[in-house]
Structure 1
Amino acid sequence: MSGQWFRRFDTARAGVPRLYCFPHAGGAVSSYLPMARELSPNVDVLAVQYPGRQDRRLESAIDDVHRLADAVAEEIAPHLDQPYAFFGHSMGAVVAYETARRLGRRSLPAPGRLFLSGRGAPTPEANPLDRMDSDEAVVAAIRRLGGTGGEILDDPEIMAMVMPTLRADYRAIGSYTWTEGPRLTLPFTVLVGDNDPVVTTDEAAGWRRFTEAATDVRIFPGGHFYLDSRTVEVARLVHGALTGSGPLART
């Protein structure tokens, strides 16, 4: 497993489902540490570390979702030797979905399930809410979503370090458009906060049009980053879906 692209928070475990987690715009693998702790030791969690952040901060971030998915698919392809699933939040949901599409085109083993969190279904046109024309707009969007502490956003030195990556990530998601192709054939679990300022529950439920399999829609109390306060509930949902230990309600 490439130490450059994937991070494991615990000892590698055989005989359990593997879950690849894709961070949000501006996010990094550390955003999945709480959920990984909840799922251990029953699920082998690996988080995807995009270039341009944390220990990859000296690399240039990739400012195109399709190129990012190309890169992840290339890295993950040799390691699909056991059952696995994808979990992506916000921009990460789109990257996870596009990565699964690329693996399918190569006739590689598909994920057993996609967990798509905090993101509406793709459209052929870019989402205008994702388009930011200045650094000030990016910072305002982050404040609105509530995903980063105000003390970080108000620290000029820290922001100077992270702005190149934020710009690249917002260019990536702001220019993303869906290109027509076959529907996937694997089940989706869609998760969304009931007070998300940028994703309605109807928009999230629209993901069901992109798979031929069943889609479960789960609504949690909270905003765009509901996951921060609902980690235990989400981890239980993920564990049940991957191990068959709990039923999933159909919608």
Structure 2
Amino acid sequence: MRLGTQSIWLRRYATGATPRLRLLCLPHAGGSAGFFHGWGHAFGDDVEVLAVRYPGRQERIAEAPWTVLEELADAIAAELPPYLDVPLALFGHSMGATLGYEIALRLEQRHAVVPELLMVSCRKAPHLLTPRTAAFAGDDELLDEVRRLGGTDSALFDDEGLRDLVLPAIRADFEAVARYTARPGVPLGCPVVGYVGDSDPEITAAEVRAWSGVAPKGFDLRELPGGHFYLVEQRDALIADIRARLAPKR
């Protein structure tokens, strides 16, 4: 796929010239590329943002959502070679963090490309993951779990038509997360940064810090005020932190 060709998997926020670096953003379970719309041109003219478009939502609403994270990682990694003419960094929130990790492994193993940086947000390290059952509960129980975590406008669930529209993608993503069980963590060839909200009901700073076990090239942790979706309220602080990490090395 040429850069001038639209990718069904990637929403591209192109820069005016060839970028110095690209940032791949991976949404959370039930999320979409639109979650990162405000990030599109937030990192300067030399950083191009790519937001991943999962099947079953927004432009891909007519497609069946996928339920296996490894298959999603395969498909996304296969889209990336045309974009690897410059360094690539990855940011994934919650489910997206696991996808970012799997994509980074595939880039190293299949394309001999080591990402510049992997940034993981509000997600346990691969060797600490515990089984989840929300995907297999009834609709009400599943939506209660989504409300508990936040990040999705609960008004969507009050409208029966909208609820029926978004629920399949949410259920599929939660099923994909549930299927991705703990496994020995394979070390990455790039540094890793972990982010977490200080009042996240789902995960602790210590659990995010455990990503250091797959980051022999270096690990750093940033804790910000807020819950599982701290990155909404703390958007400016988070973007400033990421921008500094992506800045040219001096």
- TM-score norm. by structure 2 comes to 0.91
Q: Which of 52, 56, 62 does residue 58 from structure 1 map onto?
A: 62
Per the alignment, residue 8 of structure 2 pairs with 4
Superposition RMSD on alpha carbons, in Å?
1.9
Shift of 1:237: 1.0
User: Partner of 1:152 in structure 2?
Assistant: 156
Shift, 1:127, TM fit: 3.1
Give the whole-Å Cα distance in 2 for the aligned partners of 1:61 and 1:192: 27
After superposition, the C-alpha distances for 1:186-245 in whole angstroms (9 at most, x for unaligned) are 101100000001011111111110121110100000000000011111111111111147
Matched, 1:70 2:74: yes
Deviation at 1:15, TM superposition (A): 3.6
Q: Which amino acid aligns with 1:168?
A: A
Partner of 2:231: 227
CA distance in 1, matches of 2:177, 2:16: 32
1:14 pairs with 6, 12, 18, which one?
Answer: 18
Q: How far apart, CA to CA, are the structure 1 residues paired with 2:159 and 2:78?
A: 37
Task: Find the aligned partners of 1:40 and 1:55 in 2 and give their Cα distance.
Answer: 27
1:217 is aligned to 221
SS in 2 for 1:195: coil
Task: State the Cα distance separating 1:8 from its structure 2 match.
Answer: 1.9
User: What is the CA distance between 1:167 and its match in structure 2?
Assistant: 1.1
Match of 2:192 in 1: 188
Partner-residue secondary structure (3-state), 2:169: helix
Deviation readout 1:93-117 (Å, 9 max, x if unpaired):
0001001111111142121000101
Q: Decide whether the 8 Å contact of 2:202 with 2:228 is kept in 1.
A: yes
Displacement of 1:118: 1.3
SS of match in other structure, 1:39 = coil
1:153 counterpart letter in structure 2:
F
Task: Quote the residue 1:25 is aligned against.
Answer: 29
Distance 1:204 1:129, change over 3 A: farther
TM-score, length basis structure 1: 0.91
Unaligned runs of at least 5 residues, structure 1: 247-251
Q: Kindly indicate whether the alpha-carbon contact (under 8 Å) linking 1:10 and 1:40 is maintained by their aligned counterparts in 2.
A: no
The answer for the alignment partner of 2:92 in structure 1 is 88
Question: In 2, distance between residues paired with 1:227 and 1:214?
Answer: 23
Conserved? CA contact 2:134–2:141, under 8 Å: no
Give the letter aligned to residue 86 of structure 1.
Answer: L
* AA matched with 2:177: I
- Please give the residue correspondences for 1:88-167 in structure 2 after superposition, counting only pairs within 5 Å: 88-123=92-127, 126-128=130-132, 131-167=135-171
Q: What is the aligned-residue identity percentage?
A: 37
- How many residue pairs align between the two structures? 246
Counterpart in the other structure of 1:202: 206
Counterpart code for 2:232:
D
Shift of 1:38: 2.4
Query: Which of residues 206, 223, 245 is equivalent to 1:241?
Result: 245
Question: How far off its partner does 1:152 sit?
Answer: 1.1
Task: Report the alpha carbon displacement of residue 125 of structure 1 after superposing the two structures with TM.
Answer: 5.7
The answer to whether the 8 Å contact 1:38/1:232 transfers is no
Secondary structure of the 1:45 match is strand
Query: Distance between the aligned counterparts of 1:163 and 1:182, measured in 2?
Result: 33
Secondary structure at the aligned position of 1:123 is classed as: helix
Partner of 2:48: 44
Q: CA deviation at 1:178?
A: 4.1
Residue 12 of structure 1, CA deviation: 5.4
**SS at 1:27 equivalent:** coil
Paired with 2:134 and 2:154, the residues of 1 have a C-alpha distance of: 21
Which piece of structure 1 moves more, 176-185 or 236-245?
Answer: 176-185
Q: Is the 8 A contact 1:13 1:44 kept in 2?
A: no
Unpaired runs of 5+ residues, structure 2, are none
Whether contact under 8 Å (1:187, 1:214) holds in the other structure is yes
Q: Output the amino acid matched with 2:22.
A: R
